[in-house]
Amino acid sequence: MPIRLSGLTSGLDTEAIVGALVSAYSFKKDKYTKAQTKLTWKQDAWKSLNTKVYNLYTSVGNMRYSSNYSAKKTTVSDTSKATATASGQAINGTQTLEIKQLAKTAYITGGYIEAAATGDATLSSLGAVSGTSEKASIQVRTSTGTKNIEVDGSTKIDQLISKFNEAGVQANFDEKNHRFFISAQTSGAEGNFEISANNTAGLSTLITLGLLSDKEIDSIKGETAGSEMSQRTYTYKDGAKSITYYAEGFAGLVSNLKTAKDTVKNYNADDYAAPEDPSTETEEQAAAREAAGEAAARAYETANELLNTYADFVTDLETNHGVDWDTITADEITALGKTLYDAGSYDSRAQSATEDEINTAVNAIRDAYVNLGKATTDTDIAEAQAALNKVLADSNNKKWADYIEANFGSKNSETDESYSNFWTQSDNKELVDSVFYRVDLASNVAVNNQALEIDDSLKAKKIDGQDAKIILNEVEYTNNTNSITVNGLTIEAMAETTQAINVTVQNDTDALYDKIKDFLTSYNNLVNEMQKLYNADSAKDYEPLTDDEKSQMNETEIEKWEQKIKDSLLRRDTTLSGLISTMTTSMLKTYEVNGKKVALSTYGIVTLGTLKAEKNENYAYHINGDSEDSYTSGAEDKLRAAIAANPDEVIDFMKALTSDLYSNLDKKMKSTAVKSVYTVYNDKEMASEYSNYSSLIKQWTDRIKDQEDAYYKKFSKMESALAKLQNNSSSLTSMLGG
């Protein structure tokens, strides 16, 4: 704003004169400024009230549902063992409870690592893996899948932690305590996980990092399934000869030898000789006899060939295992096959045969699943399924499929227990390598008695995940957390019990009563405030103050003046009137509950009426018999009596009332062209009006400035003329000798 030094020559108060000349324009500007200020206060008043209406709207929205009412209360005879809560559907009475086990989260506490390592430390610096050429493969198996982690000497601890986390567990390395800590992502048996090695480098890495758990060590040393899956080499004739089979294979060979023995024993060429009188048989009979003789002779030769091939083995069976070929039964042959298998050794020949067997089975199974997944038409799907069934019908394939799914696979989902996704997503070689390593390790330990050189000081401690298990009323229930809900009764298990404890459920009169009272208190506070705003005293002659007007008043006077206006902003507001009517109508209505007409008054919940109620409180509700209400404390307590007698009826009534109130408030809070959603007043319209006032204020401010500039120019010219006249007059006086 320019600095003006006016009236120096004329002696006139130019600023005051200009102010008076433009006062009409200033009045217009002040009028719109006051109107905008008043509108701002009204917006603030509505915003505050709208927040309270929305809070009630949210509250009654929740009260439409049974879950919001605590109609029941529970007591537990031993709260150190369990706590309990009950919903409305829980059955009243005393129930017996036993807590058999608590839920646990699967957890591995790693062994102490001597080296003071940080997240940047490489595995080679810890002695786990040397260089980058040696690859350590580690398997992480969770309920959602199996992931293989591959690391080398350059892998850092932080990178290993990331790989574990990506594999479906939560891992951390505690630098202060020199340990790895790994836990499941969810509690319970479903969250259980296993960490094992896929190769020798992987096993060495787990040992060195203190991540080979006690459970995994026990599993390796005691895994009979894995050790029995591999083939073994049975040596006979003083070690000169050997046979490699799994148990069923040995039994199959013995069975074939038994058949060969029987064939040789029962063969007699004379049985197929021509009769002495050729006329006794027809040409057809003769041809059949000769064909049978040839077949029997071939079978005899084949049997002899087999017996000759395994002559030393047959001798061993007869000498060392007491086999009597005439009396041995099928069950005895099966048992003998297991005996030979157990007596066999796990050598390089057995290793190679086992790996080939795994490879053949995995490829056959995976190819069948892949083909089934690619099939689109019903015919193709049927053919692919038949092919898969045929593959799995093979005893060898089925054996490996069951083992792999149990130890390496993951089900499609909790509801779909198929392993089809696992087979179609697997990498064949990686899977074969992992399975063979596990079987090979178990076989070496079980058969050859190879001791695993594991430093017990680095052995990790594994806690398996388990579900909580309770017995309620002699029926068992489980859950992956310690919270178990049965028919509306939620048990929070805290400790195992040695004997049954009692859980008692009964109606909770106080909780339901307090719920209704809290609702009425919120409603009363809001409706009383709205009545006060609607019935406020008029402030007709009050307008917001200008700065000049404020300068003539003290702060207390200004505050009282402005408060007078603010209190009256919603006086006789039609929007507010409609909102009050909506709320009071819902509260006054009668609702049908189970064929019975019920209202608030049915339960002794009433208004005091215009004559008895305090000013602006005639819509507020009071509960008869409420000890905290001085107006109705002496009346009959119908609400408590109704809750005690039939809490479900009271709840159903409150649900009906709050549903109606919620629905009507919802209609008031819907978005329109003049208001936003969840807003009961015309906020959009007010915002537009505020913007219009801003435009008008700017317009009149510009007009004032233009007028002031025009007037100041005129006065400036006058001052210049007077100054010039004064100078001329002084010069003339000087010339005349004045």
Q: Starting from the edge strand earliest in sequence, which strands make up the sheet with 489-493, in order?
A: 82-86, 489-493, 483-486
Q: How far is CA 218 from the centre of its chain?
A: 34
Q: Does residue 709 have a pLDDT over 70?
A: no
CB-CB neighbours of 698 under 10 Å = 12
**Measured between alpha carbons, how far is 433 from 427 in angstroms, rounded to an integer?**
10
Q: Does residue 736 have a pLDDT over 90?
A: no
Residue 296 falls within a domain, yes or no?
Answer: no
Residues 596 and 662 in one domain: yes
Cβ proximity of 144 and 168 under 8 Å = yes
Q: Does residue 685 have a pLDDT over 70?
A: yes
Strands (E), 387-536: 461-463, 468-472, 475-479, 483-486, 489-493, 501-507
Residue 426 confidence (pLDDT): 66
Angle ∠(376,380,382) on CA atoms, nearest 5: 115
C-alpha distances (whole Å) from 135 to each of 334, 442, 447, 600 are 42, 21, 27, 77
Q: How far apart are the first and last CA of the chain?
A: 43
Instruction: Take residue 296 and report the two structure tokens written for it.
Output: 């029997």
**Measured between alpha carbons, how far is 88 from 64 in angstroms, rounded to an integer?**
14
Domain count, the chain: 4
Residues 725 and 656 in one domain: no
Secondary element (H or E) of residue 386 = helix 378-393
DSSP per-residue codes, 182-246? EEESS-SGGG--EEEESSHHHHHHHHHTT--BHHHHHHHHH-HHHHHHS-EEEEETTTTEEEEE-
**Hey, is 593 helix, strand or coil?**
strand
Confidence class for position 7, pLDDT limits 50, 70, 90 = low
- Structural domain that includes position 200: 107-228+405-463
Q: Report which residue type is found at 412.
A: N
Residue 593 falls within a domain, yes or no?
Answer: yes
Angle ∠(493,497,499) on CA atoms, nearest 5: 135
Residue 399 falls within a domain, yes or no?
Answer: no
Classify burial at 199, counting beta carbons within 10 Å of its beta carbon; exposed 0-12, middle 13-18, buried 19 or more: buried
Instruction: Take residue 423 and report the two structure tokens written for it.
Output: 């087979």
Residue 5 confidence (pLDDT): 47
Q: What is the pLDDT of residues 17-42, one digit of tens each?
A: 766 766 677 677 778 888 888 989 99
Out of 677, 702, 722, pick the residue that ends a domain.
677
Residue 1 confidence (pLDDT): 46
Mean predicted lDDT score pLDDT of the chain: 87
Q: Which of 76, 100, 99, 96 is closest to 86 using CA atoms?
A: 76
**Measured between alpha carbons, how far is 322 from 466 in angstroms, rounded to an integer?**
49
Residue 11 confidence (pLDDT): 56
- Comparing 280 with 48, which gets the higher pLDDT? 48
Residues 583 and 541 in one domain: yes
Residues 514 and 562 in one domain: yes
**Measured between alpha carbons, how far is 562 from 576 in angstroms, rounded to an integer?**
21
Out of 507, 534, 559, pick the residue that ends a domain.
507
Residues 22 and 37 in one domain: yes
Residue 725 confidence (pLDDT): 72
Residues 20 and 99 in one domain: no
The torsion angle over the Cα atoms of residues 431, 435, 440 and 445, rounded to 10 degrees, is 140
Residue 641 falls within a domain, yes or no?
Answer: yes
- Return the bridge partners of 138, or none: 149, 197
Residues 527 and 640 in one domain: yes
Residue 713 confidence (pLDDT): 75
Q: What is the pLDDT of residues 45-75, one digit of tens each?
A: 999 999 999 999 999 999 998 878 777 889 9
Residues 595 and 524 in one domain: yes
Average pLDDT over residues 575-581: 94
Instruction: Take residue 298 and report the two structure tokens written for it.
Output: 């071939």
Q: Which of 82, 124, 78 is closest to 102 using CA atoms?
A: 82
Of the listed ranges 12-16, 117-121, 160-164, 665-669, the least confidently predicted one is: 12-16
Q: Does residue 15 have a pLDDT over 80?
A: no
Angle ∠(433,437,443) on CA atoms, nearest 5: 145
Residue 23 confidence (pLDDT): 64
Residue 459 confidence (pLDDT): 84
Residue 356 falls within a domain, yes or no?
Answer: no
Q: Does residue 166 have a pLDDT over 80?
A: yes
Q: Does residue 574 have a pLDDT over 70?
A: yes
CB-CB neighbours of 264 under 10 Å = 16
Q: Report which residue type is found at 231.
A: Q
Out of 639, 659, 677, pick the residue that ends a domain.
677
**Hey, is 457 helix, strand or coil?**
helix
**Measured between alpha carbons, how far is 177 from 173 in angstroms, rounded to an integer?**
9
Q: Does residue 445 have a pLDDT over 80?
A: no
Residues 656 and 532 in one domain: yes
Residues 473 and 612 in one domain: no
Q: State whether the Cα torsion 482-485-486-489 is positive or negative.
A: positive
**Hey, is 137 helix, strand or coil?**
strand
Q: Does residue 455 have a pLDDT over 70?
A: no
- Comparing 668 with 11, which gets the higher pLDDT? 668
Residue 174 falls within a domain, yes or no?
Answer: yes
Residues 526 and 633 in one domain: yes
Q: What is the pLDDT of residues 394-433, one digit of tens each?
A: 988 999 999 888 888 878 877 788 888 889 876 788 888 8
Q: Report which residue type is found at 53.
A: V
Helix axes 647-668, 574-588, angle to 10 degrees: 160
**Measured between alpha carbons, how far is 468 from 189 in angstroms, rounded to an integer?**
9
Residue 578: half-sphere exposure toward Cβ, Cα within 13 Å: 10
Q: Starting from the edge strand earliest in sequence, which strands make up the sheet with 179-184, in order?
A: 169-174, 179-184, 107-109, 461-463
- Return the bridge partners of 148, or none: 139
Q: Report which residue type is found at 25.
A: Y
C-alpha distances (whole Å) from 549 to each of 27, 32, 39, 327, 558 are 13, 16, 19, 127, 9
Residue 530 confidence (pLDDT): 95
- Comparing 413 with 470, which gets the higher pLDDT? 470
Residue 366 falls within a domain, yes or no?
Answer: no
- DSSP, res 458: G
Percent of the chain past pLDDT 70, that is, above it, reads: 91
Residues 416 and 488 in one domain: no
Average pLDDT over residues 567-573: 91
Residue 201 falls within a domain, yes or no?
Answer: yes
Residue 3 confidence (pLDDT): 44
Angle ∠(415,418,423) on CA atoms, nearest 5: 140
Q: What is the pLDDT of residues 141-159, one digit of tens each?
A: 888 778 889 999 999 999 9
DSSP per-residue codes, 261-304? HHHHHH--GGGGPPPSSGGGS-HHHHHHHHHHHHHHHHHHHHHH
